[in-house]
């Protein structure tokens, strides 16, 4: 039995070493692992773009786009009463210079309205060389991160050339990359030495953990009697010295930096954008997911209250776009941008002003499987959600959110 256990342990260690040596680097943020309903029925992102995909250290990149808080919000997910716009980046490749939501500064947490649309802008400055896959990201309290579309970006140059200068409210220009760094190092070293000295002192007092534990628990000795008067004196000196140092450092800092502003923790309320439907209404009649064909099929009643005829050009859900090339075209931003350029077909044709018409839509692509969206048919609450993009003769868009129960078809 002992030899068997030893053999198993050796095999486990060998497999672990092989996996560690030959494992490929992680190149994504695990967005496909999120539940399909979470990606389809929470935050729907669209028009997300970056100003450039290649830049040097110290250059700026701007990410813009829009997001819609889906009206059929899942009951088991916390609503966006407290949320924060962020950018998902593997490591400190960029620093954020500014962020805006509907033109309002987004440095604070924000409350958002379900069923509303917002636009965002984030300004980033390249800090170090890397090739990364970056995402728009919304952190929602008690719900976690809701990940938007990703873009591959390459930064070149030398991190030693990076500077992040700002002008303070008192007119002083400082570099945030190095400001206060030496002072921080000094304090870390100081308290590290104090902590190490305290631990070393007790280590040289002889066995203090297990032997004393046995004396207290097994022999019933008094733990306080094991501490000598010398040890108590040293502990008291260290305690008084710590209080003195902390108090002195507080007054010294107050004297050097008399003007300070505390970290801002307030929340911002931002009004949503005007209605993006522009008079177009859509109501799902029925919906099916055809497993064998990897296709979403749904019927939708569309009412056109605009002054122009409209046609369906796109369906967007979970950061994937199904395009109708007869109406609207879009090319993938890179090899990882999920755009089904010929993935949307529908019956019903043009919807004229004042008309209500039933459209039968089919969205087909392997992305249903590769992005694990087909898993939605196995959820206890099998429902889908997304955005329909209608276009008039002048290519003006009407964006309508749709959703409803989804029935799987296996034949």
| Residues 271, 388 contacting (CB under 8 angstroms) | no
**Averaged over 358-369, what is the pLDDT?**
95
Determine whether domain 31-169 maps to CATH 3.40.50.2020: no
Of 331, 304, 307, the C-alpha closest to 388 is 304
Is 280-409 the same fold as 31-169?
no
Map out the domains of the chain as residue ranges. Answer: 31-169, 181-256, 280-409
Per residue in 120-152, pLDDT tens? 999 999 999 999 999 999 999 999 999 999 999
Q: What confidence score (pLDDT) does residue 17 get?
A: 60
- Percent share of the chain, pLDDT over 90: 73
Mean pLDDT across the chain: 90
Measured between alpha carbons, how far is 62 from 50 in angstroms, rounded to an integer? 6
Sign, Cα dihedral of 146, 149, 154, 160: negative
The residue with greater pLDDT, 292 or 324, is: 324
Q: Burial-class residue 217 by CB neighbours within 10 Å (0-12, 13-18, 19+).
A: exposed
pLDDT of residue 378: 84
| CATH 2.60.40.1580 for the 280-409 domain, yes or no | yes
pLDDT of residue 26: 47
Query: Which comes out higher in pLDDT, residue 54 or 207?
Result: 54
Would you call 293 helix, strand, or coil by DSSP? coil
Please answer whether residues 335 and 406 qualify as being in contact, where contact means their C-beta atoms are separated by less than 8 angstroms.
Answer: no
Helix (H) or strand (E) holding 203: helix 181-203
Q: Is the per-residue pLDDT at 315 higher than 60?
A: yes
List of long-range contacts for 107-110, beta carbons under 8 Å, 24+ apart: 107/264, 108/84, 108/264, 108/265, 108/266, 108/267, 108/268, 109/82, 109/83, 109/84, 109/141, 109/267, 109/268, 110/82, 110/83, 110/84, 110/85, 110/267, 110/268, 110/269, 110/270
The DSSP code for 226 is G
Residue 65 main-chain phi, psi, to 5 deg: 165, -170
pLDDT single digits (tens) 174-205: 999 999 999 999 999 999 999 999 999 988 88
- Whose tokens are 């303070």? That residue is 168
Note the pLDDT tens digit of each residue in 1-22.
Answer: 545 555 665 666 666 665 544 4
pLDDT digits (tens, 9 = 90+) for 210-265: 887 888 887 778 877 788 899 899 999 999 999 999 999 999 999 998 888 888 88
Provide the residue count of the chain. 411
Measure the N-to-C terminal CA separation of the chain; round to a whole number of Å: 52
Query: Which of 90-94, 203-207, 245-249, 346-350 bottoms out in mean pLDDT, i.e. has the lowest?
Result: 203-207
């Amino acid at each position: 039995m002992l030899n068997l256990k030893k053999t198993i342990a050796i095999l486990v260690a060998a497999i672990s070493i092989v996996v560690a040596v030959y494992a490929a680097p992680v190149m994504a943020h695990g967005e496909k692992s999120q539940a399909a309903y979470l990606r389809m029925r929470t935050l729907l992102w669209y028009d997300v773009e970056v100003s450039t995909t290649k830049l040097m250290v110290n250059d700026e990149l701007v990410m813009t786009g829009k997001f819609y808080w889906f009206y059929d919000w899942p009951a088991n997910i916390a609503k966006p009463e407290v949320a924060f716009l962020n950018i998902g980046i593997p490591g400190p490749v960029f620093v954020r210079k500014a962020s805006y939501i509907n033109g309002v500064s987004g440095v604070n947490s924000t409350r958002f309205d379900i069923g509303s649309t917002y636009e965002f802008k984030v300004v980033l400055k390249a800090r170090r060389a890397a090739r990364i896959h970056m995402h728009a990201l919304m952190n929602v309290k008690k719900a976690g991160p809701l990940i938007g579309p990703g873009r591959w970006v390459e930064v070149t140059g030398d991190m030693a050339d990076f500077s992040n200068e700002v002008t303070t409210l008192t007119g002083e220009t400082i570099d945030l990359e190095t400001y206060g760094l030496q002072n921080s190092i000094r304090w870390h070293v100081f308290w590290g030495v104090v902590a190490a000295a305290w631990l070393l002192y007790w280590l040289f007092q002889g066995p203090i953990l297990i032997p004393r534990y046995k004396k207290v628990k097994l022999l019933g000795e008094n733990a306080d009697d094991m501490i000598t008067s010398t040890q108590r004196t040293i502990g008291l000196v260290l305690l008084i010295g710590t209080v003195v140092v902390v108090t002195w450092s507080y007054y010294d800092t107050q004297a050097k930096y008399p003007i300070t502003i505390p970290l801002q923790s307030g929340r911002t309320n931002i009004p949503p954008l005007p209605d993006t439907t522009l008079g177009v209404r859509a109501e799902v009649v029925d919906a099916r997911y055809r497993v064998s064909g990897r296709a979403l099929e749904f019927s939708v009643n569309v009412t056109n209250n605009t002054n122009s005829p409209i046609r369906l050009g796109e369906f967007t859900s979970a950061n994937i776009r199904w395009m109708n090339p007869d109406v609207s075209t879009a090319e993938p931003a890179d090899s990882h941008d999920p755009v089904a350029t010929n993935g949307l077909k529908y019956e019903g044709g043009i919807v004229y002003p004042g008309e209500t018409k039933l459209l039968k839509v089919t969205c087909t692509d392997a992305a249903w499987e590769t992005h694990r969206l087909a898993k939605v048919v196995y959820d206890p609450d099998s429902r889908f959600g997304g955005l329909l993009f209608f276009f008039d003769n002048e290519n003006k868009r009407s964006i309508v959110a749709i959703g409803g129960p989804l029935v799987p078809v296996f034949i």
